[in-house]
Structure 1
Amino acid sequence: MNNNKILRFIPVMFCFFAMGFVDLVGTASNYVKSDLSLNDTTSNLMPSLVFFWFLIFSIPTGMLMNRIGRKKTVLLSLVITIVSLLLPLLGDSFPLMLVSFSLLGIGNALMQTSLNPLVATVMQGGNLASTLTFGQFVKAIASFMAPYIAMWGAMASIPSFGLGWRVLFPIYMIIGVLATLLLFSTPIVEEPIKGKPSSFIDCVKLLGKPIVLLSFLGIMCHVGIDVGTNTTAPKILMERLGITLNDAMFSTSLYFVFRTLGCLTGSFFLRVMSNRVFFIISVTMMGLSMCGLIFGHSTAVLYTAIALVGYGNSNIFSMVFARALQSVPDKQNEVSGLMIMGLFGGTIFPLFMGLASDAFRQIGAVMVMAIGVIYLFTYIPKINKQ
């Protein structure tokens, strides 16, 4: 990697860190549930609302990139994200938190749609799946830090300026401002779009290509399992082990530790191993995890299951996303918008998991996630062998 590429690579990786802010919603929803005495269905509205906006904004963001460029679209997403992190400093009411999480979801929808293609611009000629996986590793660091910062702020002995667990919002907001300044000051040359920009209908028509549609569903399952584990793991431990919320939040950290480890090692494995073989290994780990979460009642089994799904799910997005981009190389902005729209799975899965857990306890929520894992097994033949 030459020096110019490194100088562009660093601010892009800071943006991946800012992309990880969206994962604080799992931690935040559990604390808001405790603070306001909400049930699972109501508290799960928060992560569902965050990912609802991916359905609305992903395709328009792909069209926006065609007009103003990928870098400017990422900068816009960072500004919206910063505003979303500012709002919780003004209060902790349920409506205010819903507005904050909505803006967080809108900003993240714009960021995920535009940042991944920006990587393709910056790292021309590089291994796209491996580079995206390294970006996911950086993103996972932000995800991993969120529950620890919240637990640190919630401790009575810590001076958190009256914010308690909400102290994580100003900390992440400062990092978001830094990411914005770094990217703004970095020159990135983008190739002009050839031909007529695609319309909304043109983008949706790409779902008529089987590999694009199947990849879209794969992204839905990936993010549904990700958000579902993030939100449900502490509840499973509280239900089966009888521990407090603060103690149970370790499960969220454990999940992100192994997701972070998976992204870091995955960026290496995807260079030396067949994508299909690594995909099979990843999905098999997720299948074993679902068995552990369904049948496990001991600390060791439950923590092992959470670690397995964290590692197994860590590279699914990069492999599926890269496969979709490579399938229609002349429509990468549009395909990116469609794939990020698939993050709407983060809305659908928590809603059904909340309903299932209220009806059948947390085993119901795990069964919903298991459906997503089963689908990923069916996607294996679509992954490139090389």
Structure 2
Amino acid sequence: MTKQNKTIYLIPVMLCFFCMGFVDLVGIASNYVKEDLALSDSVANVLPSLVFFWFLIFSVPTGMLMNKIGRKKTVLLSLGVTVVSLLLPLFGETFTLMLIAFSLLGIGNALMQTSLNPLVSTVMGGGNLAATLTFGQFIKAIASFSAPYLAMWGATLVIPEFGLNWRVLFGIFFVVGILSTVLLFVTPIEEPPIEGRPSTFVECFKLLGTPIVLLSFLGIMCHVGIDVGTNTTAPKILMERLGMTLNEAAFATSLYFIFRTLGCLTGSFFLRVLKMRTFFTISIAMMALSMCGLFVGTEQWMLYTAIALVGYGNSNVFSMCFATALESMPEKQNEVSGLMIMGLFGGTIFPLLMGFMSDAMGQAGAVFVMAVGVIYLFTYIKQLKTA
């Protein structure tokens, strides 16, 4: 594949990364659902937790599905499920309907994240995988930080005949999802044939017996737990300590994703000029400083700084853990990809624990749970290559 073809084929693939970012709307959406339906923290946090629960169920089977139908067709299937999930909230806002919509969003995203990253490897044909995945995360982050702004805009937009309010963001993302599906469908991508017998379900899980695969899996669990946790908790911290309204505090989610976007954009450069271990260490140090600020901060500037630090620091953790695991077993990329994406189940565990801790001792309890994840990521540093 020529360099020009790679660039052309990467365009629809990168638009799929934008659709992958739709999953991050669950943070701000759960806050609006909580307010509209008068839910407690622990009940409201069921929504983002439910989204990431499906990664536990569908990630490994998706890796096996790719071996049968190919990576591109699996991504197209994921886009179809995602489009349906975005359509449902346009018809109402009951808790049951939101549970169904968020479940489908989680299933679609599990399919997408498992298949899209290996598809990038196919298009790139090897080389600069971590940097390319990081650029994809930059595209994904654009959708992530735009979601709170769309929700805030919709909350002040009066459309009485439809009654969409903040849910207008689902309609906008629905249109983008349709466009992405069409563009990928018409893009020819040649995939290499699977060599040898495809792995069974049990054989896939046995790969967790490989230390670097298991440690990378846990690293991704912590990354996504901190990601979803900050996305959900940052507005609540501002409301608790600064007395902001939800619409005012929703900026915290956008601030997080703005700096995560900047981190992904600059990270694709730094990963080409710095040792991966060096850049990872700097990133985790920023996250540690952030946890300190979020735990004790009572001033707006301190809390905003902490949110920015965790946004930038956490932006490249996924790409580095994922690439490290994928490159450790190149002959089992589909299976390893399924296991790594199953690690996004951390997005279920962390919010549930954070919800119970915040109900018991305020938002500082939620920050404590995220800090445990940061501590683990410090222990992962030694697993990264120094070259």
- The TM-score, its normalising length taken from structure 1, stands at 0.99
- Residue 159 of structure 1, CA deviation: 7.9
1:213 aligns with 214
CA contact (8 A) 1:81 1:103 kept: yes
Alignment of 1:1-386 (within 5 A): 2-156=3-157, 161-386=162-387
Percent identity, aligned pairs only, is 75
- Residue 6 of structure 1, CA deviation: 1.2
Using the alignment, how far apart are the partners of 1:7 and 1:159 within structure 2? 42
Using the alignment, how far apart are the partners of 2:63 and 2:25 within structure 1? 25
CA contact (8 A) 1:222 1:313 kept: yes
- Residue 51 of structure 1, CA deviation: 0.1
C-alpha change, 1:159 and 1:252, in structure 2 (3 Å) is: farther
Using the alignment, how far apart are the partners of 1:209 and 1:120 within structure 2? 22
C-alpha change, 1:186 and 1:156, in structure 2 (3 Å) is: closer
SS of residue in 1 equivalent to 2:7: helix
Which amino acid counterpart does residue 57 of structure 1 have in structure 2?
Answer: F
**1:43-101: CA deviation from partner (whole Å, max 9, x where unpaired):** 00000000000000000000000000000000000000000000001111000000000
Which amino acid counterpart does residue 119 of structure 2 have in structure 1?
Answer: L
CA contact (8 A) 1:26 1:227 kept: yes
CA contact (8 A) 2:158 2:165 kept: no
Which amino acid counterpart does residue 293 of structure 1 have in structure 2?
Answer: L
CA contact (8 A) 2:30 2:44 kept: yes
SS of residue in 2 equivalent to 1:243: coil
CA contact (8 A) 2:219 2:376 kept: yes
Using the alignment, how far apart are the partners of 1:159 and 1:130 within structure 2? 46
C-alpha change, 1:250 and 1:130, in structure 2 (3 Å) is: same
- Residue 158 of structure 1, CA deviation: 7.2
C-alpha change, 1:256 and 1:159, in structure 2 (3 Å) is: farther
Using the alignment, how far apart are the partners of 1:158 and 1:148 within structure 2? 17
SS of residue in 2 equivalent to 1:99: helix
C-alpha change, 1:318 and 1:27, in structure 2 (3 Å) is: same
Which amino acid counterpart does residue 76 of structure 1 have in structure 2?
Answer: L
Using the alignment, how far apart are the partners of 1:2 and 1:292 within structure 2? 45
Using the alignment, how far apart are the partners of 1:299 and 1:5 within structure 2? 45
Where does structure 2 lack aligned partners over 5 or more consecutive residues?
A: none
Using the alignment, how far apart are the partners of 1:315 and 1:343 within structure 2? 15
- Residue 3 of structure 1, CA deviation: 1.8
Which amino acid counterpart does residue 156 of structure 2 have in structure 1?
Answer: M
Structure 1 stretches (4+) deviating beyond 3 angstroms? Answer: 156-161
SS of residue in 2 equivalent to 1:225: helix
CA contact (8 A) 1:353 1:368 kept: yes
- Residue 349 of structure 1, CA deviation: 0.1
SS of residue in 2 equivalent to 1:196: coil
Where does structure 1 lack aligned partners over 5 or more consecutive residues?
A: none
- Residue 126 of structure 1, CA deviation: 2.8
Using the alignment, how far apart are the partners of 2:129 and 2:212 within structure 1? 18
C-alpha change, 1:170 and 1:160, in structure 2 (3 Å) is: farther
Taking only aligned residues, the RMSD between alpha carbons, in angstroms, comes to: 1.0
- Residue 2 of structure 1, CA deviation: 2.2
CA contact (8 A) 1:160 1:167 kept: no
- Residue 125 of structure 1, CA deviation: 3.1
**1:138-167: CA deviation from partner (whole Å, max 9, x where unpaired):** 000000100000000000457894200000
Q: How many residues were matched structurally?
A: 386
SS of residue in 2 equivalent to 1:189: coil
Using the alignment, how far apart are the partners of 2:264 and 2:25 within structure 1? 18
CA contact (8 A) 1:153 1:160 kept: no
Using the alignment, how far apart are the partners of 1:281 and 1:195 within structure 2? 41
- The TM-score, its normalising length taken from structure 2, stands at 0.99
Using the alignment, how far apart are the partners of 1:125 and 1:113 within structure 2? 18
Using the alignment, how far apart are the partners of 1:275 and 1:224 within structure 2? 22
Using the alignment, how far apart are the partners of 2:3 and 2:159 within structure 1? 44
**1:161-217: CA deviation from partner (whole Å, max 9, x where unpaired):** 420000000100000000000000000000110111100000000000010000000
Which amino acid counterpart does residue 183 of structure 1 have in structure 2?
Answer: L
Using the alignment, how far apart are the partners of 1:299 and 1:129 within structure 2? 35
Using the alignment, how far apart are the partners of 1:156 and 1:285 within structure 2? 37
- Residue 124 of structure 1, CA deviation: 1.0
SS of residue in 2 equivalent to 1:188: coil
